Structure 1
Amino acid sequence: MLHDVTAVRYVTPLREGGSMPGLVEGDDHRLYVLKWSGAAQGRKALVAEVLAGELGRGLGLPVPELVRLDLDPVLARSEPETQIQDQMRASGGVNLGMAFVSGALNFDPLCFQVDAGLAARVVWFDALIGNVDRSWRNPNLLVATGGLRLIDHGASLIFHHHWAGAEAWRRRPYDAADHALAGAAAGLAVADEELAPLVPAALERAVAAIPAEWLTDEPGFATPDAVRAAYVEQLSARLAGPRDWLPELPDNAGHSEVAL
């Protein structure tokens, strides 16, 4: 389950990405990047963030800590921009917080080298969840003390936007042609052997961490637990079937030798 934190101070907007997340201080005196429940992307982006992020953490990948972040809309009074005020007022209650990575730089594949094994594990993970938002143009990777960090998974698990056609997604191949780490990954067979056995337990913990508030009233499902079960079934079926969803890596893959 995600740790509960209450936002006590709104620091500043982070003017990157369509949802324009905010930087807030929690009642535990830590800084968090707040992803708004009232943003235009909707609650399913937050569901994907939690499920993918906690699954990645369960697989040993470097995803910053995620928390349930409770927001009182009164904090909007300190924000001068009307658009952001409106978003904050629409996001009262449970939001998603990601631990702020101090001093982090945006990853640039031309500037940083990544351990080939880690790169392969990230590509494998992104292929499993169908993450379309890890391109070299927008890698959603940070470089900080301690190495690489994986962030922003709201664009993954796109099947949940149309549950009626979700089964067809299970065999959909993953296109890694523009993946920021494809050139550094040293083949996916070893990553598959390492990560696939860890998925069932990590997936159960990840779906349990999704706040019920974001799963309520999902069309076609009677309860939040029914939605959770559907996510488990969907990803378990993708994992259990042939690995035809895994991408072909470039011929020069695996050239990186410096570990981040």
Structure 2
Amino acid sequence: MANQEVNLRNINVTRYVTPLREGGSMPAIVEGDDDFLYVLKFRGAGQGTNALIAELIGGELARKLGFRVPELVFANLDRAFGRTEPDEEIQDLLKFSEGLNLALHYLSGAITYDPVVNDLDELEASKIVWLDSFLMNMDRTAKNTNMLIWHKELWLIDHGASLYFHHSWNNWEQQAEKPFKLIKDHVLLKKAGKIEEADKLFTQIITPELIDNIVDIIPGDWLKDAPFANLEEHKNAYRAFLKNRVKHSSVIVNEVKDARQTLI
């Protein structure tokens, strides 16, 4: 069994380098007080801290499943940044993002994964499709693969569109047991011919302990806007959803197989 401990470093943002305007939430390349560059995901962006929670859960779960994921860190943004930024839109984003944000190590020189150019074996493709169906990640399509090739290796990025039910929490208990219909648009669906093998491997790794460890590190002030009595009840909802999703993983397998039949 893989090491199930989950820990993120904390950094302070020391320099705003440049915005990444191709992202809907306008992330930015920043420098940390450890002298590394990061892609900063702002708590003040459109989807708020829910996107950061999805990024945290999705990224760390992917890492524990053996995927290459850029290091995630908690990134503290000082209020002074918003005062010196000349762009009004960016200034507002910085102002509303004071405090704890999330950042990914910047993979300098990485190129976007192209399914036509970059080959991927059937099992690896199946693993990625399984993960995205499990997380209900709608953002790994041919238009936006959210996969990078860096030093000739595949890296997964951007899980912020996962767990979309948590933007309203309507019927979230039932959502855990339902198929993810949007898997039909997944860029790797055609190659995912070993989905049952991926399911067998991953359901052994995603233990209740691992789920608890990942959810435990969600910062409390990222949870304050949800319709729960307290922070622990909110975290328990994430724990329950993910654990129930594992129990009903056959739904994932069947939906992927059905979607492939339609595609092929």
TM-score (norm 2): 0.89
Match in the other structure for 1:178: 185
- Give the Cα separation in 1 of the matches to 2:158 and 2:80: 26
Q: Secondary structure at the match of 1:183?
A: helix
- Give the Cα separation in 1 of the matches to 2:82 and 2:225: 28
Match in the other structure for 2:59: 53
- Give the Cα separation in 1 of the matches to 2:108 and 2:240: 37
CA contact 1:51–1:209 (8 Å) conserved in 2:
no
Deviations 1:57-97 (A, max 9, x none): 11111111111000113223553321011101111110111
- Give the Cα separation in 1 of the matches to 2:114 and 2:210: 29
Q: Secondary structure at the match of 2:189?
A: coil
CA offset at residue 226 of structure 1?
Answer: 2.1
Match in the other structure for 2:219: 211
Matches within 5 A, 1:36-185: 36-175=42-181, 176-185=183-192
RMSD of aligned C-alpha atoms? 1.9
Match in the other structure for 2:198: 191
- Give the Cα separation in 2 of the matches to 1:74 and 1:215: 25
CA contact 1:70–1:93 (8 Å) conserved in 2:
yes
- Give the Cα separation in 2 of the matches to 1:133 and 1:40: 16
- Give the Cα separation in 1 of the matches to 2:27 and 2:249: 38
Alignment match of 2:25 (pick from 4, 16, 19): 19
- Give the Cα separation in 1 of the matches to 2:86 and 2:187: 36
Q: Secondary structure at the match of 1:203?
A: helix
Residue correspondences, number: 252
Structure 1 unaligned residues grouped into runs of 5+: 254-260
CA contact 2:130–2:252 (8 Å) conserved in 1:
no
Specify the code of the residue in structure 1 equivalent to 2:242.
L
Alignment match of 1:222 (pick from 224, 230, 234): 230
Structure 2 unaligned residues grouped into runs of 5+: 1-6
- Give the Cα separation in 2 of the matches to 1:22 and 1:62: 21
- Give the Cα separation in 2 of the matches to 1:162 and 1:245: 22
CA offset at residue 146 of structure 1?
Answer: 4.7
- Give the Cα separation in 2 of the matches to 1:165 and 1:252: 28
- Give the Cα separation in 1 of the matches to 2:111 and 2:262: 26
- Give the Cα separation in 1 of the matches to 2:217 and 2:122: 30
Deviates more, 1:21-30 or 1:181-190: 181-190
Answering whether residue 260 of structure 2 is matched by residue 250 of structure 1, we say yes
State the identity as a percent.
41
